Structure 1
Amino acid sequence: MLGGADRPWLVAGGWAIDLFVGRQTRTHADIDVLVLRADQHMIQERLHDWEIYAAHPPGALRRWLPGQTLPTSVHDIWCRKDADGPWQVQFMIDESDGSHWVSRRDPRIRMSLADTRRVSSSGIPYLAPEVQLFHKSRSPHPKDEHDLHATIPHLAPAQRTWLHDAIARTSPTHPWLERLTSGSARAAKA
């Protein structure tokens, strides 16, 4: 569906974690894909015959009309092949300043766009696990806890540090901070 697109996109969510770990670690209800706000219209171009809805805060789904530019308050797009089918793809719209991904929670948290992009052994582009886990840290569900647990052993020290520092900046008492620090200490001893 997105193969050959002339703008960047990345598999996100739990599938990004599984691509990083190198195996499927849990079941997934849909596929999450990250695109930059500047590239949002690629979704309509590539899925022109799908049902496409924007999730307007605080959670109302509204049909995304062709050519309409989404307001900066909209970060999620839900897509399905037809009105009676299940939601199959969720697009997450993220911010950038041209050369860097920029967190919408705190614009001081950023990463070069090149560093946010990883590619699986089969050639699938996916979101860097530390950025994906930062997204998941906002209000973690059991699947997010699972994803953190599956990922920690595979994170390089720099990735672990970036994730720790990003979470600490936005949520200084977050329970994941200790797990990231203790995991770092265990990795250093190994």
Structure 2
Amino acid sequence: MRTDFDYWQTYPLETIISLFDTLDIQWGIGGGVALDLYYGFKTRNHEDIDIIIFVKDAAEVIHLLQDFSLFKAENGILTPYTYEDKMDDSFSIWVSEEEDSPFVFEILLISTREDFWIYKRNSDIRGSTDELFLLNESNIPYIKPEIQLLYKMDGSHIRDKDIIDFEKFVPLLGADEKIWLKKQLTVQGNTYMEHKLLK
């Protein structure tokens, strides 16, 4: 088990792209870095970097990372990932080059059903798998901003930086994206952030 949650030396985007582009799967950058890709430049410092994949593609990604050290992050605990672990969207995978070296990126898993991605906390929230990611002008895939903002408002404890991101990026969304996000926040039960969209 590791407890050094802040021990990060994230890979450059170029390194991640060269690694994941060897796979014939859908994937994209997530988190605050994804919002920066949407915005067009870096808006704040990012301690880590998220890679989003579908659960159905996890085995292929794990094979790609067989020379790395992988850790299962669940309920605030980091334990070594084992191949016996069932893959689902209840945990993420932190990746480092060695057992005690800095973490270089995190893998977030999204479940699918047929051609739809499923929001992990409410299966009524879903969308086409072909419409989860966008490409920036450099062809870097990243999760759509309205979907990323929904995930940032997830859970019982919302971090200050996620609220800052929400308030910064919501005004930049198009009308359709705001309507979608407002609807899903209502389904999610987050009325506080839903009301902020009305400003």
**TM > 0.5 fold call:** yes
How far apart are 1:71 and its partner, in Å? 4.4
The reply on whether 1:123 has 2:139 as its aligned counterpart is yes
- Tell me which residue corresponds to 1:81: 97
8 Å CA contact 1:21, 1:150 repeated in 2? no
- Tell me which residue corresponds to 1:63: 80
Q: Distance in 2 between matches of 1:43 and 1:80?
A: 14
Identity, in percent, stands at: 26
Pick from 139, 148, 151 the counterpart of residue 169 of structure 2: 151
How far apart are 1:171 and its partner, in Å? 1.3
> Structure 2-normalised TM-score?
0.84
The reply on whether 1:36 has 2:57 as its aligned counterpart is no
- Tell me which residue corresponds to 2:193: 176
Q: Distance in 1 between matches of 2:130 and 2:88?
A: 23
The reply on whether 1:50 has 2:68 as its aligned counterpart is yes
Unpaired runs of 5+ in structure 1? 183-190
Superposed CA RMSD: 1.6
- Tell me which residue corresponds to 1:140: 158
- Tell me which residue corresponds to 1:186: none
Unpaired runs of 5+ in structure 2? 1-18
Q: Deviations over 1:119-148 (max 9, x none)?
A: 011110000111111111023211111211
Pick from 117, 123, 126 the counterpart of residue 101 of structure 1: 117
| Number of residues of Structure 1 aligned to a counterpart in Structure 2 | 179
8 Å CA contact 1:119, 1:126 repeated in 2? yes
Q: Deviations over 1:25-44 (max 9, x none)?
A: 11111210111111111322
How far apart are 1:153 and its partner, in Å? 2.4
Pick from 6, 10, 15 the counterpart of residue 33 of structure 2: 15
Q: Which runs of 4+ in 1 moved over 6 A?
A: none
8 Å CA contact 1:103, 1:109 repeated in 2? yes
8 Å CA contact 1:55, 1:74 repeated in 2? no
Pick from 172, 177, 181 the counterpart of residue 163 of structure 1: 181
